Structure 1
Amino acid sequence: MKQTSHIVDSEIQDRAVLVSLVTQKQKKNEELAAYSLQELVKLAETAGVLVLETMTQNKETADTRWFIGKGKVEELKARIEELGANTAIFDQELSGAQVRNLETALDVKIIDRTQLILDIFAQRAKTREGIIQVELAQLSYLLPRLSGQGKNLSRLGGGIGTRGPGESKLETDRRHIRGRIDELKAQLEEVVRHRNLHRERRKKTGVFQVALVGYTNAGKSTLLKQLTQADVYVENQLFATLDPTSRTMELPSGKEIVLTDTVGFIQNLPHDLVASFRATLEEANEADLILHVVDSSTDMRNEQMRVVAEVLEELGAHQKEQLTVFNKIDLCTQQEKEMLSTEGDFLKISAYTQEDLERLRIAVQEKLMGENKLFRIPAEKGDMISLVYRIGDVLTNEVDGEDMLFQVRVNKDDYEKMGYLLAAYDQQRAQQEGLDGRGEIY
């Protein structure tokens, strides 16, 4: 048992004891279990909770009735009364029956890790899309647990676990909740439709899309702000920003791309949350390049990278072109810098160093623009000439009879797309005028 504070402030609504169950399976990686509890403390503080103490229970498996066992519940009750706590937060997900039993025994609000994360998201959501997604995730989480949430939901005073959809109908009307879920899904589908239209427009204009992904608090929003001078909220806390933000970034060549900051990942990210935020997270799936931002100053960076890789795989974005950006390198010792993974394409930077930001811009440009290619385009085909300038970095251009020759640095996908367009034009011209086609790439 580790005590973190004995201070009780009557003006702080939520005063909590944090509880973690370490099973036989988890004991094989005690470092990860300890990190999960540390992360729970940060999550609770982010939600505005005063953490009074943390408690760990080692048990072969979870108790189906009491989760941590009847004896540990009695010990927890004694500590809650001694410290004056009004909330118990568990590091794992609880069933409705476990919540009901723990509430009866402890007579305090019971919150699990999933509900805590959902609560933080409810605080952070600002846009219509974000608010819809959070409410949908909360209702999807609560619906199968209503039988075990009665006292918890009706407990006076609000605070964590009650933000978002509210509590007036949750206890009594399952049909109301199911109807609301259907309504939210329909609203979200409309949002997704609009987002897809915007994506298609961006694709047609040939504008590159780059997505910042990474574990929460890895520094994605800071990078977005430094690279684009965007007016975005930056704070050293978990899930400081929730809604995706897209800004224009200029590459060294002068070409502009769209850089999007996505919601941060975290271990044991609630399944309902991943499902509800799929439209937002799919910004990574639609990107031409993914910048995987890693907090290089944390000892758990490898675990955090694994979590991000798993979520990307779940979204189907794991095969996208990626560049790993080891951020916060200024906070690392020389030994820590040498321990950073050197697999795949990577860059070690500090978001506050202009030289490092320029190196990142160059690396992004090289990833996106690809190799030098030669395009031959009929001079009268102004729309194709314009497209060449949009999709690539034009190095040279010259006139050759009725054609224009362009030396362009362009990536593989756009090179192949341009080849398809020129071939189609070639065929159309030959059919109309009986001439040999003159649109070529080499």
Structure 2
Amino acid sequence: MKELSGNLSGLASSQIKKIQKLYDNKISSEFLISQPVLERLVALSHEIRRQIGLLVNREGRIENVMIGDAHQIMIPETPDYKATPGRLKGLRCVHTHLDDSPLTRDDLTDLALLRLDMIASVTVRQDGRPGFIYTATIKSDPSSQPPYEIFPPITQANLDMDCKNYIYTLEAGITKTGSLYEARADQEKAILVSVSSQKKDYAQAALNELYELAVSNDIFVIDTILQQKSKPDPKFLMGKGKLSDVSILAMQKSATMIVFDQELTPAQIRSITDYIDLKVIDRTQLILDIFSQRAKSREGKLQVELAQMKYLLPRLATKNTAMSRLTGGIGGRGPGETKLEINRRRARESIEKMTKDLKLVQKHREQQRAKRNRMGLPVFSIVGYTNAGKSTLLNSLTQSEIYTKDQLFATLDPSSRKLRFPQEIEAIITDTVGFIRDLPKELVVAFRATLEELESADVLVHVIDISNPACMEQIESVEKILGQLHLEDIPIIPVLNKMDLLDHETVDIMSKKLGGIPVCAKDRKTLNPLFDKMAEYAVLKLRGAEEPDENLEYE
């Protein structure tokens, strides 16, 4: 006999046995619930003065019998029934109400979050007989509000609803709606969510950046949701009611994942994934996943994996159902499913080993910097917000062919090139990983060996995308990270890139405001003022410098 779930305390063994016998019944697939089972369910609920519920599959088999209290019932996990994108769970819930109340907000929330085929509440009359029966389903049209349909109450004489066919027709409508979003078969389809206490303009800009991150990671974005909330919900971040709306939208649009702009705590991940049968990740996980794909060198891959492990370590205590969606990253990439099986001790051992390996990398980089210092050549390091045009500028200045693309974090591995000025003066110019708002602390720590390249710079060339409406916030983010790395005392040349996308008057205003040099990194002809400024710094550095070492190899 299957076990009961829920609140069994205080019940007599005879009552428990009678409730367990509900499992012995099978309901015709055309009926919401059969009349004998309905009468038995209501009589038992009336006897124990608690709500009793049934989870029934599409073949009419009772999969779970639940016992609540006088006011509510908790629906347990059903690992054998998963609501795949664009489809319902395959279970309907029929439960009792001890008074004559219709479906509650909690009932409708459970319908949405769990993607039930249908939810029904049966009122219990004072004589222990069934009263009215209230039912609801999710609508197939994502534009409909509210997103669920509540039907007029019925009695036990109207239980033949052709239930199975109705559910299949509803699900077919949902699938058809979801197919309108033409992502590739192997492409994730996501809903982006931000819960922010910031002003709307700032919050929207942050959500727009999350959109760019998602697209950079080959995710098909179906919809975005911005909720302004003075204080985030400690359990669900956005509140259970709003989460249910997101769950319905995800089902109606066949989304395969939800991406939160805010970093989720391990407890929040567990709470959300307890209710939503979807992959759930946050902005940090998204950025880590992008880095895991873009890192090409052994050093870069090592740094990314270390960052991923440090991020996942506190989340290894969460349940496997949550971690199976979290650890795989986008499309199952990232550290991999095998990481789910390691315990905290082995995770710490991996982190310790990777940290030692990175110390060797750090030592090697220190030796390279020492060689460059002995040469006495001036070092220019390009810094800036991701996708501001750093690699493009390096290519134009040195006539190199480093990979570039109009996307966030197109390149991660640092590059160094020789730069020769007209006065036969040589310098070294390096390009490092791009910065971003609230750069995950795990990445800052893991990439410290790379970022320490900036410490040996004589001048920082700060590339700013002045065509971006959020450029002032991006400048602030870069300056904040430079401050964290204690690089405030190194001279900075502000380079105002993408001047070709603005009119001359706006470029002049921005130049005066930021004290920078306007350029178009793609057009070498516009770089002469920057070239001259860099040459001035190079001359100052080379006064009294040693002869360069011709045998030094550059990356």
> Does TM, normalized by the shorter one, top 0.5?
yes
Match of 1:395 in 2: none
Letter in 2 for 1:346: G
Match of 1:11 in 2: 185
Residues 277-292 of structure 1: matches in 2 within 5 Å? 277-292=447-462
Contact (CA 8 Å) 2:328, 2:336: kept in 1 or not? no
Task: Give the gaps of 5 or more residues in structure 1.
Answer: 376-386, 392-442
Residues 8-407 of structure 1: matches in 2 within 5 Å? 8-9=182-183, 11-23=185-197, 26-27=198-199, 30-148=200-318, 150-155=320-325, 158=328, 160=330, 162-340=332-510, 342=512, 346-370=516-540, 387=545
Normalising by structure 1, we get a TM-score of: 0.80
Percent of aligned pairs with the same residue?
42
Contact (CA 8 Å) 2:313, 2:347: kept in 1 or not? yes
Measured in 2, the distance between the counterparts of 1:149 and 1:269 equals 27
Measured in 2, the distance between the counterparts of 1:156 and 1:115 equals 8
Q: What secondary structure does 1:60 align onto?
A: coil
Deviation at 1:155, TM superposition (A): 4.6
Contact (CA 8 Å) 2:274, 2:322: kept in 1 or not? no
Q: Which has the higher relative contact order, 1 or 2, with Cα contacts under 8 A spaced 6 or more apart?
A: 1
Contact (CA 8 Å) 1:96, 1:149: kept in 2 or not? no
Letter in 2 for 1:22: S
Deviation at 1:287, TM superposition (A): 0.3
Measured in 2, the distance between the counterparts of 1:183 and 1:172 equals 15
Alignment coverage as a number of residue pairs = 373
Cα deviation code 1:183-220 (max 9, x no counterpart) = 00000000000000000011001111110000000000
Letter in 1 for 2:361: V
Match of 2:38 in 1: none
Moved more, 179-188 or 98-107: 98-107
Cα pair distance change 1:237/1:372, threshold 3 Å: closer
Q: What secondary structure does 1:68 align onto?
A: coil
Q: Which runs of 4+ in 1 moved over 4 A?
A: 155-159, 387-391
Measured in 1, the distance between the counterparts of 2:325 and 2:541 equals 63
Letter in 1 for 2:249: R
Cα deviation code 1:219-271 (max 9, x no counterpart) = 00001111112221010000000010111111121111111011001101101
Measured in 1, the distance between the counterparts of 2:512 and 2:284 equals 33
Measured in 1, the distance between the counterparts of 2:257 and 2:542 equals 62
Match of 2:71 in 1: none
Task: Give the gaps of 5 or more residues in structure 2.
Answer: 1-141, 144-177, 550-555
Moved more, 110-119 or 165-174: 165-174
Measured in 1, the distance between the counterparts of 2:541 and 2:457 equals 19
Contact (CA 8 Å) 1:169, 1:176: kept in 2 or not? no
Contact (CA 8 Å) 1:218, 1:327: kept in 2 or not? yes
Q: Which of the two has higher C-alpha Rg?
A: 2
Measured in 2, the distance between the counterparts of 1:63 and 1:156 equals 20
Contact (CA 8 Å) 1:234, 1:241: kept in 2 or not? yes
Contact (CA 8 Å) 2:378, 2:541: kept in 1 or not? no
Deviation at 1:278, TM superposition (A): 1.1
Letter in 2 for 1:315: L
Letter in 1 for 2:420: E
Contact (CA 8 Å) 1:137, 1:273: kept in 2 or not? yes
Moved more, 362-371 or 86-95: 362-371
Cα pair distance change 1:157/1:98, threshold 3 Å: closer
Cα pair distance change 1:237/1:169, threshold 3 Å: closer
Match of 1:417 in 2: none
Letter in 2 for 1:16: A
Letter in 2 for 1:274: V
Contact (CA 8 Å) 1:119, 1:162: kept in 2 or not? no
